[in-house]
Amino acid sequence: MADQNVYDDPVFFANYKKLRASEGSANACVEQPAMFSLCPPAAGLSVLDLGCGSGETCRAFAEMGAARVVGLDLSENMLAEARRQTQAENVSYVQMSMSGLSTLHDTFDLVVSSLAVHYVADFERFAREVYGLLKPGGVFVFSQEHPLTTAPKDGGRWVRDWRGRIRHWALSDYAEPGMRKTRWFVDGVEKYHRPFSAVINALVSAGFSVEKAAEPMPDADTVRRFPKYAKYRHKPDFLLMRVKK
Amino acid sequence: MADQNVYDDPVFFANYKKLRASEGSANACVEQPAMFSLCPPAAGLSVLDLGCGSGETCRAFAEMGAARVVGLDLSENMLAEARRQTQAENVSYVQMSMSGLSTLHDTFDLVVSSLAVHYVADFERFAREVYGLLKPGGVFVFSQEHPLTTAPKDGGRWVRDWRGRIRHWALSDYAEPGMRKTRWFVDGVEKYHRPFSAVINALVSAGFSVEKAAEPMPDADTVRRFPKYAKYRHKPDFLLMRVKK
């Protein structure tokens, strides 16, 4: 199976850039703060960022004093953008699929991955490969789309009452892991759904100790400014884990 | 707050006994097999069963060669039934709340709990107390109602199409932990909802290593015999964890 590379589709890429740049994006308000709060202090660490995109996280780690940062992504578009925006000399980028990590002969203190692992088909193999990329005592922190978001084969939907107020999330297919094709700017974006237990068990089987799980909510102030996030109380959009070698 | 003891309500108790005795109950078909599959071989172990009810699990462990089994429950009705049905001399029963475990001065190789921890208000304290009841290397295995089941404040419901076929589970309030009052044979049964991450984090904070999570599905044969379980593919009803001291 060819690795999906929707980020090199021009329509997708243009829309994605717009989304990430928008004030009050779910990434900026919810996912990124949760992600960084799970990470150990970066000063002096060697860091690998899996699915680094345009290098935002890599640059943040360099600014926080990481000794060395490697960003890995499959998308040429993304890496070109990343290189354009990065001055720091201890940040480098590698074009590589997240399903080929065994060819990366290097080890790190910290591996992070922001909203990318739901594109990985074989999460058990992936977890073993990340384990192999960590030094003893090293930490892996990742965020992914929440299993409640990836579950429905029809893409899922919010059900509203006659006034248009959200009442519930229409949850289906949660217990059936596998590929989900969804429309996200373009047709046929492929993601992989895994129930919570499958995520945990793959990490434990790879040898990791589970240290923390998070299903972050926007804070009250964010909900006041962006009322669209009130619905997260019914279903969070992100799941994050911190695990240790 | 007084500990809830709905099992000593005569209406509840009569209905509950009928439910558990019925062929094809969710306990018999799904929860109990998953529970025992997560437990280590019982031969020679000292076992504590939290929320033992009528002692079914205690007797099963005695038959599997456990050295000693202690069953704990708050309900007199349940324990009277348990004592009536138990011959084995190495099985004993204690009437005690699961929120008072610190007064039990004893340690065990294995602590199990079947469908009881969702009645515990303070799961963090409970996890610490269970940790204290285990010998080093001891294992805690428990099942609980799935967070997707306990989440909705309105009790939750299956949404059907015009032909009566189940389409989805109406998921709400997942991210809001706390008490849920539901009707189950009688009004006002109190349960506590906790998102998945809260369960994991409480166990890890107590000192446990997470070894396995399970969200069991009935097998194909069971679904053929009892088609009502087909809906579990949208939402499992049980969450089980095995953790180690």
Enumerate the residues of chain A whose CB falls inside 8 A of the CB of residue B232: 175
Q: What is the Cα B68 distance to its own chain's centre?
A: 21
Position with higher pLDDT, B184 vs B113: B113
Chain A nearest C-alpha distance from B201 (Å): 6
Chain A nearest C-alpha distance from B188 (Å): 22
- Give the A:B interface size as CB pairs under 8 Å: 102
pLDDT of residue A1: 42
Residue A174 in 3-state DSSP?
coil
CA-nearest residue of chain B to A244? B209
Contact A195 B215 (CB under 8 A): yes
Contact B196 A215 (CB under 8 A): yes
Contact A175 B200 (CB under 8 A): no
- State mean pLDDT over A199-213: 98
pLDDT of residue B188: 67
Give the pair of three-digit tokens for residue B219.
């097998």
CA–CA distance, A152 with A174 (Å, rounded to integer): 7
User: What phi, psi does B51 have (nearest 5°)?
Assistant: 80, 55
pLDDT surpasses 90 at B54: yes
Confidence at A109, pLDDT banded by 50, 70, 90: very high
User: Which of A97-101, A180-184, A240-244, B223-227 is most confident?
Assistant: A240-244
- Give the position of tokens 């437990």: B39
Chain A nearest C-alpha distance from B241 (Å): 9
| Element of type H or E holding A148 | helix A147-150
For the stretch B111-150, what's the b/e string if a residue is b when 16 or more beta carbons lie within 10 angstroms of its beta carbon?
bbbbbbbbbbbebeebbbbbbebbeeebbbbbbbbbbbbb
pLDDT surpasses 90 at A61: yes
Partner residue opposite A209 with nearest CB, options B170, B209, B232: B209
CA–CA distance, A225 with A239 (Å, rounded to integer): 23
pLDDT surpasses 60 at A2: no
pLDDT of residue A27: 84
Show me where the domains of chain B are located: 6-145+195-244
CA-nearest residue of chain A to B167? A172
- Give the position of tokens 């002096």: A44
pLDDT surpasses 50 at B148: yes
pTM recorded for the entire structure: 0.91
Contact A172 B169 (CB under 8 A): yes
pLDDT of residue B58: 97
- State mean pLDDT over B101-110: 93
Contact A171 B173 (CB under 8 A): no
Sign of CA pseudo-dihedral B163, B164, B165, B168: positive
CA–CA distance, B160 with B168 (Å, rounded to integer): 7
Q: Which CATH architecture has domain B6-145+195-244?
A: 3-Layer(aba) Sandwich (3.40)
Enumerate the residues of chain B whose CB falls inside 8 A of the CB of residue A152: 168
Across A12-21, A41-50, A82-91, A118-127, least confident range: A12-21
Chain B nearest C-alpha distance from A147 (Å): 11
CA–CA distance, A56 with A62 (Å, rounded to integer): 10
Query: Which of the residues A124, A174, A193, A232 would you substitute to probe the B interface, choosing the one with the greatest number of B C-beta atoms within 10 Å?
Result: A174
What proportion of chain B, given as a percentage, has pLDDT over 90? 73
Q: Would you state the torsion angle of the CA atoms of residues B118, B243, B20, B68, taken in this order, to the nearest 10 degrees?
A: -120
ipTM above 0.95, yes or no: no
Q: Which CATH architecture has domain A6-147+194-244?
A: 3-Layer(aba) Sandwich (3.40)
pLDDT surpasses 70 at B21: no
- Per-residue model confidence as pLDDT tens digits over B205-235: 999 999 999 999 988 888 898 888 999 999 9
Chain B nearest C-alpha distance from A229 (Å): 12
Partner residue opposite A210 with nearest CB, options B171, B204, B217: B204
CA–CA distance, A9 with A76 (Å, rounded to integer): 11
